[in-house]
Every structure is written in C-alpha cells, then in structure tokens.
Structure 1
Amino acid sequence: MQMRLDNCTSQLHKYTDMLHISIIYQIGCLVYILGHTVYRLSLVRTCFDCFHFVNQPPIFFRAGKMGGHHKKNLRAEKAKVKLKGAKLPKGLNVTKTDFKVRKIEIREQLKESSYSETGQRQFNLKETLSRLKHHSVKFRTDAQRNVRDSLKSGNADHLIGHLNELFQGIAAGALDMERSARQESFKTLDVMLEALQPQAVAPFFHVIATYLRCAMTHVLPAIQEDSLLMLDVLLLRVPPAFLAERSASTIIGNFIDMISRARHDNERSNRTLTLNLSQGKQTTVKWRTKVLIRLQQILGTLVTSKTAKPAAARVVHFEEMRPQYYNVLCPVRHDNRDLHAILNESKLTAEGTQLHTYVQQLLPLLQDNWMEVRPQEQQPLLNQDAAASLHVVIGLMSLLWNLIEQHEAEHSTTELSDWLRKNYAQKFLLNFLAKDGSRFPYQQIPLATKKSAKEKGAIDGGELCMPQNLGIVRLTCKFFPRPVERQTQMFAHLVDYMQESLNRLNTLSPEQQLSLVASLRALLFENAISLLNIVAEPLTSLLSATSEAYVGQRFTTREGVATRVLNLLCEIVERSDLYTRFGGEQRFTSFLSYLPQLLLKPTVGESTLRAMATLCRQLNGVFMAALVQSAPEIVSHLNKLQITGDIEGQDKFENQKRVVNLYYYARELDKEGKLERSVKQLEEQVESKRIADYLKAVVGYN
C-alpha cells in the first residue's frame, strides 16, 4: 500500500511539471495517441485527476470505490413499493369540516397547576422579584405581567412587606432601553397604585419620583418622551395634594428643562426654547404641547391642594334636658412643623421665592412658544397645532395667576402680582391682543376631512377657539385690573365678544359654559367698578343678558354652571356700590322677582340664602313683594327644603328659621294676609307645629 502511495505521489509531481510546461498541448497529444486503448484511457483519467487535486493536500486522497452511497440510495428508491390504483372522482377527495367541536376546560386543574389560563407561568414572589432585575427583556416583562395578574386577582395584601423591592423593580423599567419593557412597567405601576392605598405608597413614593426625574432628564429622547406616560399614571392614581406635597416643585423644574435650556448671556430671560427633542414624525410644536399639558396638570395639582378647605369645627348645641358629652382629657398635639424647622435649619427657598422663580422662567418661555406659531397676518386664523399651543399656554398662565393669588391671600401681600403686571402686562397685550384688540378673537382653520375632525377637542378648543378666547379675557382682567381711558376700545372689544358668546349659549358644552361664567365674573364683578368708568353701556347690557339667560334657564345645571351664575348675580346684588352703578331695581327686576322661586326647589345654596337676607335688610321692594306673593307655597315646602353648603351638624329647624326670618322684613308688604293663612296652614300639620309657632312669633313681633 505504501509503495502504491509513493508511486501515486511521484506521478503527481511528474504530471504537475508537465502541466506547468504545456498543459493544453500534452493533454491533446495524449488524447490523440492513446484514444483507442484502455490503458491509454486510464492514463488520461489519471492526468485529469492530478489536474483536479493539484492544489489540494494529500489527505483528501483515499482508497476504495467512489459513489457507493449513491448506488445504495438508488437501490433503496427502487425497492420502495409503488402505489398504483385508480384516482378518486372529482369532488370526493375533500376533507369534511362540517363537524362541531367543543373546547374542554378544566379550570380546577389550571388553577392547581403552575400555569395560568393564558399559558403564562405564574412565579412565586421571590422568583418574581429576582426576574424584575434580570438582564433578559422577556424575563422582566413576564415578571411585570405576573405582578399585574396577582394584583388583579385580589392578592395585594401579601405584597405589603415587599413594596420597596417591587417599586424599585417596576419603576426602574422607566429607564429600560426597550420601549415594550417601559410600557409594561407603566401598566404595572398603574395597576399597583390603583390597588394600594395612598398610605401604603407614601413611604416609597420617593423611589417612583426619583426614577421619574431620571427618565425626564435622560440622554435618550425616547426615554424622555415616555416619561410623560409615567407622569400620566401618577396624575391619575396619586391624590393631587400628595403629589404636590412630595415632588411637584422638582418635577416642574424638569419640565422646564425638557423644553428649554439655560443661556449664558446678559439678557433678562435666562432660558431659551430648544428644538425638536424627538426624532420621529413629531414636530417641535407638538412635543412642547405634550410637555406643557403635563406641566399644566402638575400646576393644577398645586392649585387643588391649596384650595382644599379644612374640616369645619364641630358645633355642640346645649339642651337642658339632654345629656351632653365633652372632652375631659387634652388631645395629643401633633408636631406639624416641617423637617427644616425641627432641625433648626433654614429652607433653601421660601414658597414665594420659588413661585417667583417659576413665573420668571415660565412666562417668557410661554410667550416665546406662542410667538413661534402665531400667524404673521392680522387675520387671527390658527392651524390645529397653533390652536393647541395657544390652549395650553393660556391655561398655564391662568394657573400661575391662581397660584399667585392664593399665595398673596395667605400672606396678605400684593408684591408678586404687582411685579408681574409691571414686567409682563404690556408684552401680553402686544403678543395676544394687539393694542386695539385687532387680533382677538382667534379662530381655527376649518378641518378638511372627517378623520381630522375626530382629533379636535379639549386640546385645541374647536374651530371657534372658545377656551382660548375666554382665557384671554380673564387674563386681560388680571393684567389690567384698573384700565385707563386709552384701553377703552380694547375692553369694548372683549365685552362685545362676551355678548356674542351669550347669544350662542345653547350650543356650548358644560365645560365651555363654566369658562364663560369665569370670564363673566372677571368683567361683571372683579373689575366692574373700573370698567364702568370706560365701557359702562356695553357692560350693563352684558349684565342684563346674563340675568335674562339665567331667568330663562338657558344655563345648564350640569357641572354646577347655573349655581355659579346664581352666586355671581347674588354677589353683585349684595354689593351696594355695584348694585347701584348697574341700575338698581330697574336693571335687576326680572332676577329679583325670580329669586323667591328658588325656595320651592329641593335644595337652595348657602350663598343664595345669604343674598336673600341681604336684600331684605336693604329693604328691596321688588324682592320682598315677590317673597310675600309666594309665601304659602314657600312655607308649606319648608319641611322638604335642604340648604347646601351649610355648617356641618346644623339643625334642620335652624335652617327653617333662616327662611322664616326673611318675612320679618317683608311682613309690611303683606296686604292680603297671606302670612296669616300660612300660619294656619302650618298649625294644621302636627309635624310643623314648631315652625308654625316661630312664624307666628315673627309675623306678630313688634
């Protein structure tokens, strides 16, 4: 065998040299000379084999027959049984599918096994906590779903002892590189905050707030954009006072950083707007609008938390024949001081200074944002993006004014509002109204397709831009509480717009009517004394239209709109200076005649009853005449009447006496003896004997 291999190797080198000299010539000669003998054919085959393997290592040469497996496969194929027979007729070779099946589900077995109905494996708590920190995205998302399923099934109690680890793992998903993992994290956080009480979440809220701030300041635009979704969960599930107390101030600073950057020049405005953050189809205007909407919600939580009224004190009425129980031991006093006061440390910024910083940073940014989308022509037509931007800018400026007014009411000062008017009143006038009000009111360009019509709503205010225009009216009254003669044309323009809005009152939604009433309060009550000096006639006509709309019941009762209009008119009537300047009884006749009819309804407001008492003390003849005219119906309805907004624990008889006391002033106008008939009517009812005696004493008191 070795000799044979050596022989082959020597032949290989021999024929390789021959091929290098003249391979084509030698092959032709050999084929021509040795073409008729078997030996010569074998030599030709050897030459071609050498040519094929000339560049291959010798290890590829092996002895034995070639192609043995191929022959075996051919023999195996030939040995297979061939099925021969007639084909089925056409239409018979069809699978029948007209049978019915029923899925078999044994829920007890599924519950006992370690798999849920959806096929997802249910892990125990320890394994879930470990998988929340796993490097695999699939493992993390499965753990998030497992936590949601556990909470939805009502097993939130066994998670109480592990909330720190759970919040750490779930909130950390806000910084995940995968968008799907971030969305799963937000869904799980939503379910978890819904299932747990705020007291259980309070010790661990700093964990959620920390990850939220990290996401809002992340270097990746996608994570910054999704951080708004996490904030939506907190705004929905966390109480406003709790959110405002814990992290609202820090989150506001992050919001400002998301749409602007600090500038290092000597200009007064120390921040400038940034360009588009997102790399998708989202424009810069849309991105800023999304950020500013969340900022508006955060400021709304601050306003809501500060307007929460403290609980009313418990009033105990002494009765001689009834046992009374009073506290003997002094209640435990709680330390309500903050941490800085307890540790004798001074705060870094006071509340007023911090609010001043917000206003100083936000107002220039809001006005710059509006200037970028405002149309250049005098025609105030806005596209959808510009309308949405104006909507959120006006809303934010209104919230800042509310915070300023709350702060000044608590500290009995006007320093911040005076500074705001001094620095930004003229800029607001030029940017939103123009000097003569020619840019007002704004309207949106009609949307072309029905598909786009679905997108309009609260975010853009509709084609008439009603929320934006009404907000501008209120802000103008805030910036110019004492208008001067040169602003007559501008305020007349605003009053005319309010008159037009009242004419289409029936087409407005409850939210739009609420905004309309707020603007009416700014014109007819808060700034009325100053406005009556420059636009007396238009303002008086607006008041008459408002009164007629209320008497005609054109304001909706939903969302308390009609009640707010009633309170506004009652407050105007209570102020003798406004009542006289607007025209007195002549202007308010329809409203004063209608006012006693409110005592025939199931409920009457505390402010309404107070206004009635004021009118009686002022000896208002129109109101007292209408009150006496309806005396029998009002007196018989006393047992069913309830007063809303009264002091907690107020006796029903005390409320009835407040209504009866109105007739002490109006009894002189009772020429037909209706009050005496009302007394006799009450005396016939056993349950009304007490109030009948009181009414008799009031009528006969001299």
Structure 2
Amino acid sequence: MGGHHKKNLRAEKAKVKLKGAKLPKGLNVTKTDFKVRKIEIREQLKESSYTEFGQRQLNLKETLSRLKHHSVKFRQDALRNVRDSLKSGNADHLIGHLNVLFQGIAAGALDMERSARQESFKTLDVLLEALQPQAVAPFFHVIATYLRCAMTHVLPAIQEDSLLMLDVLLQRVPPALLAERSASVIIGNFIDMISRARHDNERSNRTLTLNLGQGKQTTVKWRTKVLIRLQQILGTLVSSKNAKAPVARVVHFEEMRPQYYNVLCPTPKDNRDIYAILKEPKLSAEGTQLQTYLEQLLPLLQDNWLEVRPQPQQPLLSQDAAASLHVVISLMSLLWTLVAQHETEHNTKELSDWLRKNYAQKFVVNFLDKDGSRFPYQQIPLAAKKSTKDKGAVDGGELCLPQNLGIVPLTCKFFPNPNEKQAKLYGHLISYMQQCLERLNSMPPEQQLLVVASLRPLLLENATSLLNIVADPLISLLSVTIESYVGQRFTTREGVATRVLNLLCEIVERSDLYKRFGGEARFAPFLSYLPQLLLKPTVGEATLRAMATLCRQLNGVFMSALIQSSPKVISHLVKLQVTGDSEAEDKFENQKRVLNLFYYARESDKEGQLERALKQLEEQAENGRIAGYLKAVLGFN
C-alpha cells in the first residue's frame, strides 16, 4: 500500500503546472450582457408530441385505447384530448371511429370516480354539439344503453349523475330522435328511481322510495330533480307528435306552363274500422303503453304531493313543496296532452274516460278539497338573503301562479261536464282567474300565456256546461277578458295577444255560446275594436274567418264599425298580409277575402263612405285590380 502511494505522489509532482497571473479584484465576474436567439425548426415543432404545458399529445389511436385504460388519470387525459380536438375544429377525422368513441365516452357514465364521470359528460356534450343528428343516429343506442345502466345502477352516486348525462341528451339530441329511440324505456327507469313495485307484477301498485342515501339533499328535492327530467322527456314525446309531416303538393299538368313536380305523393287514408273487423279492443299497443304510464305515474305523483301538502294550521307552502307541486302539475298536464294526441290519432275516447273514472275524484280531494277551499296556493315569503334565482320558474314565486294556473285546466279536463255538485269548486276557479286578469300588467309573457291557456277551457271548451251552473261569474270573467284585450293589457310578446284574439273569435263563431254570453251587448267593445286589426301590418287567418262569420250573421255592431273604418282599411289593403293557414295563397286572394266583408256591410253605409273609398282607388293606377273587384262587390245583387 505504501509503495503505491509514493508512486502516485511522484506522478502528481511530475505533471506540468500551469501558472498564470490572477485577475485584478472586481474583474472575476461572468458577463451576462450578451443576446441569444432561439433556434426554431418548424418541422420539429409541427411533429412535436408535447403541448405548451409540457403534457404529451396523444394521437387518435392512443386516445381511443386510453378511453378503456384501467387508470383514472389516463382515461381523463384521453377525454380531455378528445374535447380539445373537437373544440379546435378537428371533428372530421373522428367520423370513421364514432362507434369506438361513443363506446368509450358513454362508458364514463358508469365510472366509479365522480371526476371521470363529469369529464365524460363534458366530452359527450362537445361531441354531440360538433356532429350532425344523422351522424349520431346510428350510435344513439350505445348512449341510451349506458344511460339506462347508470339510471338503474346500484350506487346512488352514479344514479344521481345519470341525470347530468340526460341533461346533455335533452340539450343536444333532437326531440324526435330521443322520443323515437328510447323515451319509453327511459320513462320506466325514471319511475324506478323514485319508487319500487309492491309486488313482482310490473303493473301492480308502486310505492315511493326514500332518499338515495347521499345525505346531501332531502328526499323531496331528489324526487323533484328526477321528476323535472321526466317532465322534459314527456315534453319531447309531445313535441315529436306535434311535428307535422311534409305535405305533398299535387300539380296538374298544363301544356303551356312550366311544371314542377314533387317526389312525394299524398297517401290515401284508410278509414275502415279495423278493430271492428277483427273484433279486437280499440286500445292500440301505444295506448296500452300510455295507460301503463298513467297507472304507474298518477298514483306516484299524488303520493309525492301528499307528503309535502300543507296542513290546515299552516296553509302556506314551503319552497320545496312549491317546487314539487310545480313539477307534479306540469307532468299531469303533459300526460293529458299525450292522451289527447293519442285519441285524436286513433279516433277514440276510451283512455280519457278511463282516466276520469279512476282519478278525477282523487285529484279534486288531493289538490283542491271537494269544494276548492285549498285553492289557490301560496308560498311562504322567502328570506331577504335568498337570491332572485330561487324565486323563478323552479317554484313559481310566492303567489305560485304556474301551479294555480295549471290546476285550472286540469280540473276542466277531469270534469268536462260539471254538474251542480261542482258549482262551488268552479266558482273558486273563476274567481281566481278574475284576480289574475287584474294583475296582468305585473306578469311576464310566460305567465300570461298560462292565463290564456286556463281561460280557454272555462270560456270555450267547457262553457256550455258551466253556463248552466255558474253563469253569472263566467259572463263576468268574459267581460273582464274583453276589457283586458281591448285595453291592450295583454302583451304582444310571445303571441299572447294573438291567442286571446283567437279565443274570442272562436267564441264569436259559435252562435250558441255567442247568444248565451249576451250577444252584441256583451261583445260590443270587442266587435267595435275588431276592424282596427285590419289596419295593422298583418292579420291572422282565424281573425279574418271570425269577421266573415260576423258579417254572415249580419252583426250590426261589427258592420257599423267596419264601415266607419272602411276608407283606412281599403287604402291599407295593399300592405296587409294574412298569416296562418292561408299564407301559401295568392296575395290578391287574401285581399278579396277582406273586400268580401263589404258585400254584407254595404247596407250599413248610410254616408256613402264605400263609394268615396272606391273613387280614391280608381284614381290610383297601381290599385286598379283591387278597385275593379270592390266595384263588382258593391254592385252585386
């Protein structure tokens, strides 16, 4: 050991020593005042596999494989990568891989981690927004399958988050596609989320279940949250049935005129009663399914309301009870709409008769009491610290206007032919509607639409029976409605005023109701105001039809008002547009319909106003066609 050490020391001493002068004090400093420039190679940047945050970019193959990875972090990164790619406008290269993509994204609804489920819903939202409905349709069954699995999952957290997935579908998927593909199955799953069957039989009575066990929300809030989504699903069914099929146009051949032919041809309808031929019950398969929904849902909705219904010592509703009542009334209205659509399509009344027989009395007892003493409902005033967001459409506000206005038409549907026993009940409803008309100026358009919808069954659909038991209150309600319309207290937004006008015109067209309501004496303010509508830019088809009916009935009040306005009406006729069913007609044909009114009204022209208006038209060369037709109308015997 010692010999080697000495040998190493001698080798060190033998090395050449570099000796130099030391720098003066203060100069041994590194210079940093020089400038540098980054070297950028464009091709390398383009092919770089890292983002600006240092995260590794994944190609499409890696992304699709990571959607099924066992690691939660890998799955979330893949979902974010898909979302970023879609937001950057690169959806075209995903078209060939939609099957795998939908499988991977929709499977996130069943993920055990809440963060992964939320990422999958965000990505599904962006994907459905970027794709056309025809591209989604072949793979919609994949999404619907995972949704149903999530709604029936054993874990309450996954069940609760399944509503978020449904929100995405309701927002991004067309109602017709959602209703056609899986609405019927989803409705059954909704029923399972808030109730369970008392027996193994599927159509047996069901009982409400308690809270899911999360501890974060009450049972009432959970059921309300589920029922709101059920309301949206039923709304898609209603809107899909209301969609009108394209009408084929029949073109007649003319040798000297260019012809344009449609591909579609009108399909002849078979009006034979096939059920009578085959000796089968009239209730179709669709009607049987709808009856099943009614048997399961209506008892559940009423039980849900009975749990939160206020007691006599505290008649005001809590906020949760008001929200529950709002969604329950909306669901019952939608169910009645589906029944009406089904019966119109199949020309039957069996389902509505069955509904009234089994649930009419229960509805009155649970929601109104027998004499209507519980009606109308009001909510406990909210504390000042509550935001205005809590007073909106969820619970209807402190006056509970949507709830109360929804109860009125439902009562009319359950009792279309009321008798003396329901006189006091309908007296409460009519009195409440008059109070609503007095508060019209403070109502937004959405609530005014509900007011008009509640007036229609009282003043038109059930009016014949109601005039036998509550004639004076009903006539008073009509007078207030006419005063409100003529006084322009109904807003023109959302078509509210137009709906009131159509309602009043339909009453006028029915001669029996017109006479029983008081005839010209009662409708005088409305009839005198009616010709003023011909001075506006547009007039509705229903309004023009009602005017023609009044002229054929030789209504003196209307014809006198029409003659007084005739110079202005005739001069404005060139600018007038008729909206509604006759929009496709020639403009001159609609102008002739207005001019035909003066054929009946000319007898009321004592001052010769029509003749003066005709001379003014004849002086204007551009109105020669209208002038010629008006001259023929006035001279026709």
Instruction: State the distance in 2 between where 1:469 and 1:501 align.
Output: 10
Instruction: State the distance in 1 between where 2:208 and 2:48 align.
Output: 57
CA displacement at 1:312 relative to structure 2: 3.6
Structure 1 stretch 636-645 or stretch 268-277: which is displaced more?
268-277
Q: Deviations over 1:98-128 (max 9, x none)?
A: xxxxxx9x99897664344555543221111
- 1:571-610 mapped onto 2 (5 Å cutoff): 571-610=506-545
Structure 2 residue aligned with 1:629:
564
CA displacement at 1:683 relative to structure 2: 2.4
Corresponding residue to 2:61 among 108, 126, 136? 126
Matched position secondary structure for 1:114: coil
Corresponding residue to 1:640 among 575, 583, 604? 575
Structure 2 residue aligned with 1:99:
none
8 Å CA contact retained: 1:378, 1:439: no
Asked if 1:677 is matched to 2:601, the reply is no
Asked if 1:615 is matched to 2:550, the reply is yes
Instruction: State the distance in 2 between where 1:447 and 1:505 align.
Output: 23
Instruction: State the distance in 2 between where 1:328 and 1:390 align.
Output: 50
Matched position secondary structure for 1:454: helix
Corresponding residue to 1:521 among 456, 472, 478? 456
Instruction: State the distance in 1 between where 2:348 and 2:249 align.
Output: 31
Matched position secondary structure for 2:153: coil
- 1:329-344 mapped onto 2 (5 Å cutoff): none
Instruction: State the distance in 2 between where 1:329 and 1:581 align.
Output: 50
Matched position secondary structure for 1:226: helix
8 Å CA contact retained: 2:541, 2:582: no
Structure 1 stretch 267-276 or stretch 650-659: which is displaced more?
267-276
- 1:266-345 mapped onto 2 (5 Å cutoff): 270-314=205-249, 323-325=257-259, 327=261
Structure 1 stretch 264-273 or stretch 380-389: which is displaced more?
264-273
- 1:42-191 mapped onto 2 (5 Å cutoff): 113-117=48-52, 120-191=55-126
- In structure 2, relative to structure 1, the CA distance for the partners of 1:575 and 1:311 (3 Å cut) is same
Alignment root-mean-square deviation, CA: 2.5
Instruction: State the distance in 2 between where 1:317 and 1:265 align.
Output: 61
Asked if 1:261 is matched to 2:261, the reply is no
Instruction: State the distance in 2 between where 1:551 and 1:120 align.
Output: 68
CA displacement at 1:687 relative to structure 2: 2.5
Matched position secondary structure for 1:443: coil
Q: Deviations over 1:596-643 (max 9, x none)?
A: 111111111111111111111111111111111111111111221111
Instruction: State the distance in 2 between where 1:666 and 1:438 align.
Output: 50
- In structure 2, relative to structure 1, the CA distance for the partners of 1:547 and 1:421 (3 Å cut) is same
Instruction: State the distance in 2 between where 1:478 and 1:329 align.
Output: 42
8 Å CA contact retained: 1:167, 1:204: yes
Instruction: State the distance in 2 between where 1:360 and 1:166 align.
Output: 39
Instruction: State the distance in 1 between where 2:253 and 2:532 align.
Output: 34
Q: Deviations over 1:51-101 (max 9, x none)?
A: xxxxxxxxxxxxxxxxxxxxxxxxxxxxxxxxxxxxxxxxxxxxxxxxxxx
Q: Equivalent pairs: percent with the same residue? A: 81
Q: Deviations over 1:153-181 (max 9, x none)?
A: 22212211111111111111111111111
Amino acid at match of 1:160: I
Matched position secondary structure for 2:397: coil
Instruction: State the distance in 2 between where 1:162 and 1:420 align.
Output: 48
Structure 2 residue aligned with 1:437:
372
Runs of at least 5 residues in structure 1 that lack an aligned partner in the other structure: 1-103, 334-347
Instruction: State the distance in 2 between where 1:182 and 1:149 align.
Output: 17
Matched position secondary structure for 2:207: strand
Instruction: State the distance in 2 between where 1:299 and 1:330 align.
Output: 31
8 Å CA contact retained: 2:253, 2:259: no
Instruction: State the distance in 2 between where 1:229 and 1:404 align.
Output: 29
Instruction: State the distance in 1 between where 2:338 and 2:200 align.
Output: 30
Instruction: State the distance in 2 between where 1:120 and 1:526 align.
Output: 67
Corresponding residue to 1:398 among 333, 340, 345? 333
Instruction: State the distance in 1 between where 2:548 and 2:313 align.
Output: 51
* TM-score (norm: length of structure 1): 0.80
8 Å CA contact retained: 1:240, 1:305: yes
Matched position secondary structure for 2:539: strand
Instruction: State the distance in 2 between where 1:330 and 1:358 align.
Output: 36
8 Å CA contact retained: 2:231, 2:330: yes
Larger Rg: 1
Amino acid at match of 2:309: R
- In structure 2, relative to structure 1, the CA distance for the partners of 1:241 and 1:218 (3 Å cut) is same
Instruction: State the distance in 1 between where 2:327 and 2:319 align.
Output: 13
Asked if 1:479 is matched to 2:414, the reply is yes
8 Å CA contact retained: 2:486, 2:525: yes
8 Å CA contact retained: 2:66, 2:75: yes
Structure 2 residue aligned with 1:355:
290
Corresponding residue to 1:559 among 494, 514, 521? 494
Q: Deviations over 1:655-676 (max 9, x none)?
A: 1111111111111111222222
Structure 2 residue aligned with 1:12:
none
- In structure 2, relative to structure 1, the CA distance for the partners of 1:700 and 1:169 (3 Å cut) is same
8 Å CA contact retained: 1:683, 1:689: yes
Matched position secondary structure for 2:490: coil
* TM-score (norm: length of structure 2): 0.88
CA displacement at 1:517 relative to structure 2: 0.5
Instruction: State the distance in 2 between where 1:188 and 1:283 align.
Output: 30
Instruction: State the distance in 2 between where 1:514 and 1:669 align.
Output: 37
Corresponding residue to 1:649 among 584, 602, 621? 584
Instruction: State the distance in 2 between where 1:404 and 1:691 align.
Output: 48
Instruction: State the distance in 2 between where 1:556 and 1:281 align.
Output: 42
Instruction: State the distance in 1 between where 2:466 and 2:591 align.
Output: 40
Matched position secondary structure for 2:233: helix
CA displacement at 1:319 relative to structure 2: 8.2
Amino acid at match of 2:128: L
Structure 1 stretch 485-494 or stretch 354-363: which is displaced more?
485-494
Instruction: State the distance in 1 between where 2:337 and 2:400 align.
Output: 22
Structure 2 residue aligned with 1:193:
128
Instruction: State the distance in 1 between where 2:155 and 2:201 align.
Output: 31
CA displacement at 1:653 relative to structure 2: 1.2
CA displacement at 1:241 relative to structure 2: 1.3
Instruction: State the distance in 1 between where 2:467 and 2:94 align.
Output: 64
Asked if 1:422 is matched to 2:357, the reply is yes
Instruction: State the distance in 1 between where 2:469 and 2:313 align.
Output: 26
Structure 1 stretch 619-628 or stretch 566-575: which is displaced more?
619-628
Asked if 1:455 is matched to 2:373, the reply is no
- In structure 2, relative to structure 1, the CA distance for the partners of 1:648 and 1:543 (3 Å cut) is closer
Q: Number of aligned pairs?
A: 584
Instruction: State the distance in 1 between where 2:430 and 2:458 align.
Output: 8
- In structure 2, relative to structure 1, the CA distance for the partners of 1:618 and 1:119 (3 Å cut) is farther
CA displacement at 1:318 relative to structure 2: 8.6
Structure 2 residue aligned with 1:241:
176
Structure 1 stretch 285-294 or stretch 481-490: which is displaced more?
481-490
Matched position secondary structure for 1:127: helix
Instruction: State the distance in 2 between where 1:294 and 1:310 align.
Output: 27
Instruction: State the distance in 2 between where 1:461 and 1:657 align.
Output: 47
Q: Deviations over 1:513-547 (max 9, x none)?
A: 11111000011111111111111001000001001
- In structure 2, relative to structure 1, the CA distance for the partners of 1:538 and 1:269 (3 Å cut) is farther
Structure 2 residue aligned with 1:666:
601
Structure 2 residue aligned with 1:41:
none
